[in-house]
């Protein structure tokens, strides 16, 4: 074994062992890591044929910790590289990866030279999330929108290295249309209240198109396609309503090697004043003509980026389709004024005069608008490719857009909230969502299983089934609940009915093939239609689970002042009760803080609207 003694230094400078503080450890082997130097000539001789330096230490590759003999690795004191324990530990960590590489190479396996911990591997990792659109294969449906995350080539390069499937360049134009941005220009949204830091529900920007030249971007596209041949690069371009300009810029972008083009016809701020962006994208005639010009000039696919700032976005999409566009991007940002301070000044405010302009709102706040646009276009023009953008911040929200009819997904605000690394969650999340579809799990919503009845996170039985009465989980009733449940469990024990079964984890196996991305595109469209298609004969009403209720009163408050006064509280237990006045509006469920505490169930009696006064016969 090994014995450690606590030592103390005396005033005379001598070291003394404290016999009252001794620690003994059992051990079969003891490995010395206490400044082990090569002081013994016999040890150095035994290390042959490892080459030594003139200082008598092994020659070591400081990147891999490998010596002249590929199977011998050295670090720490013995290699003469480390001066501290921390450095020695780091040597070991660095060497461990390259030892792994060496061992794998003996069996013909190639391992990435960049050290990284292996991830947990399951059948989900085998799911293929590649998708083809317009003859272009995307490694995965997630890409960078033409926005601040694609300000430069280096940023797109880092995104591809991180795992993004495709990227739009920042929108660029001809040299005569070069712009200079103002600042500040990208600010947090106010749609989530006083929420600061990452996780913003929206952003507003007054940023213009790229300040870089078309020549820069064309060189960048060529470079990116050379280094990342399997990733998709789409050039985003913008001109005024001028055939020669669109023809020149489109040809230039095509010749650079771009896989496709995106025509920015929708920038809501700044560019419209120059006769570009929104100035072109709100008129179906202009959109149709621009698409025709570009179609005549190039052979690669191109997509018109649409604005939501129109009465009917479907009309604009149809114009692009008629003009020869291969698809559309829906949607650009929504024009808005994010907020005014207490002194009346706006934010962002530019210059000493604190002036601002209407900017583009992005992020989760515009997701309902973008989903509406994507689904409406997909229903109106079946099979027309759509690149969705606007509030995609997870695999779950991305799947919503795929279900709505999109083929690929563009992301910006979520990256502004975090960084490029979110792509790992998106890809793994989408794989998991597709895999779960093959299991056909009952009552699951994506990756969320059915909510188990609980009180403050702890599973609870239905008390009324046990003791024949309902009791809330607060005040004197809490003790009564505890006593009642304890008595119930005692009876089970006395009857030998409390045998605890082994909690064996159920292994779910696929019942059908895992769907591909293309299989889920537009799946939701059959559920979306006109209001007149909705049945007013199949009504629901609220059902509150008393065991899960925390008696916060939010359902009562909203129903009382915004609904139909259908919820009351028991005068003694304060348990909520839903009466026949409930019309199934679902406000109570919307504000309830406990997931699935309130559910909407089929109304038992036929719904009869309260008209206020008797219906008068028509005279």
Query: Does residue 472 share a domain with residue 372?
Result: no
* DSSP character at residue 119: P
- C-alpha distances (whole Å) from 122 to each of 25, 119, 431, 435 are 40, 10, 11, 11
Residues near 476 by beta carbon (within 8 Å), at least 6 away in sequence = none
Is there a domain that residue 233 lies in?
A: yes
Count the Cβ atoms, other than its own, within 10 Å of residue 453.
Answer: 14
The span from the CA of 259 to the CA of 123, in Å, is: 32
In a domain, 181, yes or no: yes
Sign of CA dihedral 513, 514, 519, 524: positive
Q: Model confidence over 175-192: pLDDT tens digits?
A: 999 999 999 999 999 998
Q: What confidence category does residue 41 fall into, taking pLDDT thresholds of 50, 70 and 90?
A: confident
pLDDT for res 258? 99
Q: In terms of residue numbers, what domain contains 478?
A: 462-494
Same-domain check for residues 80 and 210? no
> Does residue 516 fall inside a structural domain?
no
306 and 236 share one domain: yes
Looking at every residue in the chain, the average pLDDT score rounds to 91
What confidence score (pLDDT) does residue 597 get? 95
| For residue 540, pLDDT beyond 80 | yes
pLDDT confidence bin for 524, thresholds 50/70/90: very high
pLDDT recorded at residue 94:
87
Number of Cβ atoms within 10 Å of the Cβ of 616? 6
| Closest listed residue to residue 390, CA positions, set 461, 332, 464, 442 | 332
Q: What average pLDDT does this structure show over 564-570? A: 94
Q: Is residue 505 part of a domain?
A: no
Residue of 267, 559, 588, 592 marked active site: 267
What phi-psi label fits residue 79: left (phi over 0), alpha (psi between -120 and 50 degrees) or beta? alpha
Distance of CA 611 to the CA centre of its chain: 46
267 assigned to active site = yes
Residues 483 and 415 in one domain: no
Q: Which of 154-163, 248-257, 386-395, 494-503 has the weakest average pLDDT?
A: 494-503
Alpha-carbon distance values, 455 to 468, 473, 596, 597 (Å): 19, 8, 12, 10
Which contacts (CB < 8 Å, 24+ apart) does range 375-379 have?
375/404, 375/405, 375/524, 375/525, 375/528, 376/313, 376/314, 377/313, 377/314, 377/317, 377/328, 377/330, 377/405, 378/404, 378/405, 378/406, 378/522, 378/525, 379/405, 379/525, 379/528
Q: Tokens for 140?
A: 């995965």
Q: What is the CA radius of gyration of the chain?
A: 33
Residues 369, 327 within the same domain = yes
Per DSSP, helices labelled H in 448-607 are: 463-467, 475-494, 517-520, 554-562, 587-591
Tell me, yes or no, whether 292 and 206 share the same domain: yes
C-alpha 40: how far from its chain's center? 58
CA dihedral of residues 274, 275, 276, 282 (deg, nearest 10):
140
Whether 522 is covered by a domain: the verdict is no
Check which CATH number belongs to the domain holding 62 and give it. Answer: 3.50.50.60
Structure tokens given for 290: 């621009």
Residues 488 and 588 both lie in one domain: no
Residue 619 within a domain: no
Point out the least confidently predicted range of 30-34, 196-200, 219-223, 576-580.
Answer: 30-34
| pLDDT at residue 348 greater than cutoff 90 | yes
Taking phi over 0 as left and psi of -120 to 50 as alpha, with beta for the rest, 13 belongs to left
How far is residue 336's CA from residue 356's CA, in Å, rounded to a whole number?
Answer: 11
Number of compact structural domains in the chain = 4
Q: Do 435 and 468 share a domain, yes or no?
A: no
Residue 444 counted as domain residue: no
Cβ neighbours of residue 290 closer than 8 Å, sequence gap 6 or more: 241, 246, 263, 265, 280, 304, 323
Instruction: Work out the percent of the chain whose per-residue pLDDT is above 90.
Output: 67
Q: Are residues 63 and 185 in the same domain?
A: no
């Amino acid at each position: 074994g090994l014995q450690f003694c606590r030592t103390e230094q005396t005033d005379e400078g001598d070291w003394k062992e404290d016999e009252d503080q001794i620690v003994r450890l059992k051990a079969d082997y003891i490995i010395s890591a206490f400044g082990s130097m090569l002081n013994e000539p016999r040890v150095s001789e035994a290390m042959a044929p490892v080459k030594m330096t003139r200082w008598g230490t092994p020659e070591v590759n400081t990147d891999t910790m490998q010596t002249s003999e590929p199977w011998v690795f050295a670090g720490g004191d013995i290699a003469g590289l480390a001066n501290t324990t921390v450095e020695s530990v780091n040597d070991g960590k660095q060497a461990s990866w390259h030892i792994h590489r060496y061992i794998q190479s003996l069996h013909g396996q190639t391992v990435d030279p960049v050290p990284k911990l292996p991830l947990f591997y399951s059948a989900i990792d085998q799911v293929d999330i590649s998708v083809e659109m317009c003859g272009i294969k995307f490694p995965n449906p997630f890409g960078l929108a033409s926005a601040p995350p694609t300000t430069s080539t280096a940023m797109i390069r880092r995104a591809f290295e991180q795992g993004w499937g495709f990227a739009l360049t920042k929108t660029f134009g001809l040299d005569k249309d070069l712009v200079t941005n103002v600042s500040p220009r990208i600010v947090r949204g106010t749609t989530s209240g006083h929420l600061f830091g990452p996780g913003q529900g929206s952003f507003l920007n007054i940023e213009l198109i790229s300040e870089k030249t078309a020549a820069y971007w064309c060189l960048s596209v060529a470079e990116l396609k050379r280094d990342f041949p399997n990733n998709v690069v789409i050039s985003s371009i913008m001109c005024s309503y001028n055939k020669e300009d669109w023809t020149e810029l489109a040809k230039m972008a095509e010749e650079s090697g771009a896989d496709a083009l995106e025509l920015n016809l929708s920038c809501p701020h700044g560019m419209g004043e120059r006769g570009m962006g929104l100035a072109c994208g709100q008129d179906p005639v202009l959109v149709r003509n621009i698409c025709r010009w570009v179609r005549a000039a190039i052979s690669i696919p191109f997509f018109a980026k649409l604005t939501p700032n129109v009465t009917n976005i479907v009309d604009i999409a149809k114009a692009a389709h008629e003009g020869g566009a291969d698809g559309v991007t829906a949607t650009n940002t929504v024009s808005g004024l994010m907020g005014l301070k207490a002194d009346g000044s706006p934010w962002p405010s530019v210059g000493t005069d604190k002036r601002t302009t209407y900017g583009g709102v992005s992020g989760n706040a515009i997701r309902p608008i973008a989903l509406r646009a994507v689904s409406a276009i997909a229903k109106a023009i079946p099979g027309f490719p759509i690149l969705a953008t606007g509030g995609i911040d997870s695999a779950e929200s991305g799947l919503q857009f795929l279900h709505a009819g999109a083929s690929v997904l563009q992301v910006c605000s979520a990256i502004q909230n975090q960084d490029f690394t979110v792509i790992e969650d998106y890809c793994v999340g989408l794989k998991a969502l597709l895999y779960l579809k093959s299991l056909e799990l009952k009552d699951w919503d994506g990756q969320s299983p059915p909510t188990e009845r609980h009180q403050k996170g702890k599973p609870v039985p239905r008390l009324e089934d046990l003791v024949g009465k309902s009791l809330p989980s607060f005040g004197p009733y809490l003790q009564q609940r505890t006593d009642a449940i304890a008595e119930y469990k005692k009876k089970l024990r006395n009857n030998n009915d409390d045998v605890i079964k082994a909690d064996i984890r159920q292994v779910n196996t696929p019942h059908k093939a895992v769907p591909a991305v293309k299989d889920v595109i537009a799946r939701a469209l059959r559920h979306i239609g006109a209001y007149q298609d909705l049945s007013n004969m199949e009504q629901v009403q609220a059902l509150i689970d008393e065991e899960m209720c925390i008696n916060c009163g939010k359902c009562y408050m909203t129903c009382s002042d915004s609904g139909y006064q259908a919820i009351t509280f028991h005068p003694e237990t304060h348990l909520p009760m839903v009466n026949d006045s409930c019309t199934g509006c679902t406000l109570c469920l919307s504000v309830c803080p406990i997931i699935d505490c309130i559910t909407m169930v089929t109304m038992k009696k036929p719904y009869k609207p309260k008209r206020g006064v008797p219906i008068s016969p028509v005279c």
